[in-house]
Structure 1
Amino acid sequence: MDIDLVFILSTAVKIILFTFVISLLMVAYATYAERRVSAIIQDRVGPNRTGIPLTLFGGKKDWHFFGLIQPIADGVKNLLKEDFTPAHVRKFFFWIAPALTLIPAFLCLAVIPFGSSVTLPTGDEIKLVIADIDIGPLFVFAIASLSVYGITIAGWASNNKYSFLGGVRSTAQMISYEIAMGLSIIPVLMVYGHLNLNNIVQYQAENGWLLLPLWKDGVFGFYLQNLLLWIPMFISFVIFLTAVFAETNRMPFDLPECETELVGGYHTEYSSMKFAMFFMGEYCAMIVGSALVVTLFFGGWAVGIPAVDSAISEMAWGGIIHLLVFLVKVVAFIVTFIWVRWTVPRFKFDQLMKLGWVIFFELAVVNIVIAALILFYVK
């Protein structure tokens, strides 16, 4: 098959599969998981009734199936609700703001390696990443930071003091944590030596996960370099993961939308699908953040045992196994996000500013120096 045709068709299939199938399903069922996990934490039942109403078609009993149809019902509800636009808003910006929040989150999925590769019957090898570029983390940071414009515009365009305060908070919050987030992965990239996310995962497939470095060139052992570097890598992980919570406006950093102070923050005036787009953007950003954490620190699609990963890679469809491994890791972090939201209280705004500028910024800079000294010593 002509190489250009293979590239075009495979890219189209990957866009549909990763963006419109896997990601949208994960967004939908992340909301279900959120409600079920929060119910368990608060000793409630949670959604468990929504299913297929067989009694409407002459059946004797409805099929509830643990309420797994609830996300579909929520989606239909948002589609059918009245798309109300208040008269006092700035309409053009009011309409475009939800898209500016949702689109960057989906664009970031383009550089995330969901698996290794698959070999077609024609002999063509297809990498399970939409865009295999050499600046993966920088692309994610650049595109993900655009979502704050959507939140800020939504707050300003709503002509509502609570919405405006939510938008301003989001801007100040973004400036405070994104610097520490960027600095936190510099030691990680110093270890890897490049910015290609697929190569980063391949490095971990051969040498163990960054936070579980029990191999070197495929040989098991406790190596001095790995043991020394584990400390700055763990510090980078803590800073990066905390910054991802702030990036996604999740508890304890959901200050732009906190109900107790700002009613609903920047989306107070929104309803129907416009509100749903903000909702989807938050959950998609959570998925992207989880995927990036898994890719940088926990081996991405790699199992973590070089011999096993090598055997899987030699299979024609081994990339599908790696895809499943990657999704299991991402789901584990999504559950962690949900667990933290329903366990940890919300920060005060001054505490968030202090955490970003006084603690994490300085700690990230010191961590770069520590990692550089260790690398200089061991190499």
Structure 2
Amino acid sequence: MHSLNFTAIDFETANSKRGSVCAVGLTKVRAGVVTESQSWLIRPPAGIDHFDARNISVHGVRPQDVLGADSWGTSLRRILAFAAGDPLVAHNASFDRSVFRNACLESNLEVPEVEFRCSLELARRQLDLEVNRLPQVAEALGLSSFRHHDAGSDAETCANAVLAIARRDGLSTLELLWPAKPPKSSGSHRYRGEPALADLPQPNPLADPSHPLFGQVVVFTGELRTLERPEAMAQIAHRGAANAKNITKKTTMLVIGRQDPHSTRVEISTDSGKERKALQYVEAGQAIQAVSENQLLEWLAPAAGAIGDPTENLVRAAAPSLEAIPALEAPAVRPAAIEAPAAGASGAPLELVAAGILKLLGSFRRSR
């Protein structure tokens, strides 16, 4: 643990613009021990210094709170002095790196060369959690409670989460915590960090066909405040929707993460490239439904009276027993979801059961 030196960082923003930084938290780690923490409010760069209701509801910072706060230029110098050349570690580092960069660009400042590492990525690799947001990670590691979306509290919890994982798994250096990724094949033409289409969660063919997400082709844009995007993609695929990375002629839904947190309605605007592309298709006559995060959460909530996984309910209705069809290759179903009929009970002939499921699978393959 003696070689673990880094500075954990967390930013909060005033609105949906990544450069609209309004608060920062920093926690220094030396030789595997937290030694110092600082946090302060920041006056967002001019031109993007308005505060959205959604952001205020998340972190509680208001316009009047930053009237006498440091500018980004002053804050940048303080951050660099505090970190003293350390790698910066953040939970969902892509967000904090983007805030850092865009705040510099909006302030007409050169963007310093700073190394970022991601504790969210670390948690996904080392912890077996369904949700890897900072509160869930902290709870799983037995860390004390904290004020989520308070920049100082988040930075300190991020640092302690990294140290807890390092102690638990015997990872005594930054290189062991974040091993270098192998170079991609020269034959790959994907943008760096962009997942292949085959890596996206695929639709569940046994999902409830009456569900509003079943059969939809869904694209996400903007940051979700409740779910991480990979989790949201997995959940909609479980309900029978197909994930897509970009707007195409097949797109039927666009989930927009930037919105009023209390509203279930959202409109397609020109705030992102995907929205602008969607508007072009809509103007050409294509039907693309704009979906808010709140509406998505309502659809993902378990139906009243549902028993367990939606896949289990469909399997119960379609097949009294699957255990007697060992040769059938179907998507995996948890054993608890399969209820074999009692001896002597009447049930569907096995041939009809197999034919029904094969028909479902065939329909799914044709629709992809």
Greater relative CO, 1 or 2 (CA 8 Å, sep 6+):
1
Same fold (TM > 0.5) = no
**Shorter-normalised TM range:** under 0.3
Greater strand content: 2
TM-score (norm 1): 0.19
TM-score (norm 2): 0.20
Greater helix content: 1
